[in-house]
Structure 1
Amino acid sequence: MSRFFTSSENIGEKSIRITDKNDIHHIAKVLRLKIGDKIELSDSVKWEYETEISFIDKDYVEAVIIDKQKFANEPKTKVTLFQGVPKQGKMELIIQKNVELGVYEIVPVFTDRTVVTDNGKFSKKIERWQKVSDEAVKQCKRGIIPMVSGDISFKEMLERLGGFELVLFPYENEEDRTIKDALRNLEKIPETVAIIIGPEGGFSEQEAQRLRACNAECVTLGKTTLRTETAGIAALAMTMYELEL
């Protein structure tokens, strides 16, 4: 059953409207769904619905509510990935796979060793990356669409870390402490976790020292050195396994 998202103002007591033009096109022209076909809908906040299509038009699709329940597929822990901006098209893979694994938010970060420059066009990349998140979340049937936030500096990231119960910092120079060590010694499961991943060249030593000073848990992801597009996926998978499974 295909899943779509709609805003709360489109949700009535007995039916829901879909007004997004791309979703209408996807329902009518790509999936070729008809009146009587069932679809899943989410309000991206708390509730998900099983519905049956009752009307299809170029301006909106209406579906009758069959069942309503709280999100069943959202992790209890909200994990934010602070990702050092990589080169070329790697960010799209990072977003897609981390969304599938349950990330709550992805924040692109410019660090000392980031080689990508803004050139005044970075906002367009954010828009494209958000669409990647939108599409990935439909495939894995999550309740929310994870946000790809606007890019920030390393200094701005440090200022945000105080808002997380746990900060995990996978670092190539750490050899002993693993994510398992960091998570299994917790007194309770954290509601918010930050995972910090560097760009292709990793973090500078100065940046690593500043992260340690912010009480980030320095951990290793294993004996091999992972690419930046692999490291976040591996770290999130390990975290979700320990906290959710």
Structure 2
Amino acid sequence: MSRFFTTPEQVGEKTIRIVDKQDIQHMTKVLRLREGDRIDISDCQRWEYQAEILEIDKEYVETLILDKQKFTSEPFTKVTLFQGLPKQGKMEVIIQKTVELGIHEVVPLFTDRTVVTDNKGNLSKKQERWQKVADEAVKQCKRGLIPRIGEALKFQQLLPLLDTFDLVLFPYENEEQRNIKTALRGLDQKPETVALIIGPEGGFSDREAELLKGTRAHCVTLGKTTLRTETAGMAALAMVMYELEL
């Protein structure tokens, strides 16, 4: 059953209206849905519904609520990935796969070794594209919320934000002892918010690593092999979700 997203304002007592033009086009032109067909709908806040299509118009699709449940596919822990900007199209793969794994937010990060620049002012267009990738991925895996793709930050802007998280994990290739399992099982209580900090190709500079070690961040290893930047975030997130959610 296909899943679509709306806002709480479009949810009535017995009906839900979908007004997003792209969703309407996808429903009618691609999926070829008709009156009487059933779909899943999320209000992007708390509830998910099973609904039956009552009416299809150029401007909206009206549906009848058949069932209402609280989100069942969203993790308790909200994980934010601060991802060192990679080259080429790797960011799209990172976003797609981490959305499937349960990420709450992805924030691109400029670091000392980031090769990507924004000299031509194209980053905002890329961010729009990355958000669409997240939108498409979340529909495929039928989550309740659409993860946000945040505005890119410089490394120095990241540091003061770390105090807002219950737990900060900093996977680092030069760490050899402490792993994510040890860091998570040593906690007094389950964190509601977790930050994962992943470097770009080439990793973090020595300067950045020392600055992170001076914060609340837990420096951890992801294993004996050195992972690519597009793999490290996925691996770290999967480990966190396994320990905290499964």
The two structures have a TM-score, normalised by structure 1, of 0.99
Runs of 4+ that moved beyond 4 A: none
Q: How does 1:10-29 map to 2 (within 5 A)?
A: 10-29=10-29
Query: AA paired with 2:23?
Result: D
Task: Determine whether 1:58 maps to 2:58.
Answer: yes
**Consecutive unaligned residues in structure 2, runs of 5 or more:** none
Q: CA deviation at 1:121?
A: 1.1
Structure 1: how far apart are the matches of 2:41 and 2:137?
A: 15
Structure 1: how far apart are the matches of 2:192 and 2:9?
A: 28
Q: CA deviation at 1:57?
A: 1.2
Q: Which residue of structure 2 lines up, in the alignment, with residue 127 of structure 1?
A: 128
Deviations 1:14-57 (A, max 9, x none): 10111111100111110011111100000111111110000011
Structure 2: how far apart are the matches of 1:48 and 1:136?
A: 17
Query: AA paired with 2:128?
Result: E
Task: Determine whether 1:108 maps to 2:104.
Answer: no
Q: CA deviation at 1:8?
A: 1.3
Task: Indicate the SS of the match to 1:162.
Answer: helix
**Consecutive unaligned residues in structure 1, runs of 5 or more:** none
Query: AA paired with 1:8?
Result: P
Deviations 1:180-202 (A, max 9, x none): 01001111110000000000010
Q: Which residue of structure 2 lines up, in the alignment, with residue 175 of structure 1?
A: 176
Structure 1: how far apart are the matches of 2:75 and 2:203?
A: 28
Structure 2: how far apart are the matches of 1:244 and 1:94?
A: 21
Q: How does 1:138-177 map to 2 (within 5 A)?
A: 138-177=139-178
Structure 2: how far apart are the matches of 1:141 and 1:172?
A: 34
Query: AA paired with 2:174?
Result: N
Q: CA deviation at 1:9?
A: 1.1
Structure 1: how far apart are the matches of 2:139 and 2:213?
A: 37
Q: Which residue of structure 2 lines up, in the alignment, with residue 203 of structure 1?
A: 204
Deviations 1:61-95 (A, max 9, x none): 11100111110000000000000000000000000
Query: AA paired with 1:185?
Result: G
State the identity %.
69
The two structures have a TM-score, normalised by structure 2, of 0.99
Matched residue pairs, number? Answer: 245
Task: Determine whether 1:234 maps to 2:235.
Answer: yes
Is residue 94–residue 230 contact of structure 2 (8 Å, CA) maintained in 1? yes
Task: Indicate the SS of the match to 2:225.
Answer: coil
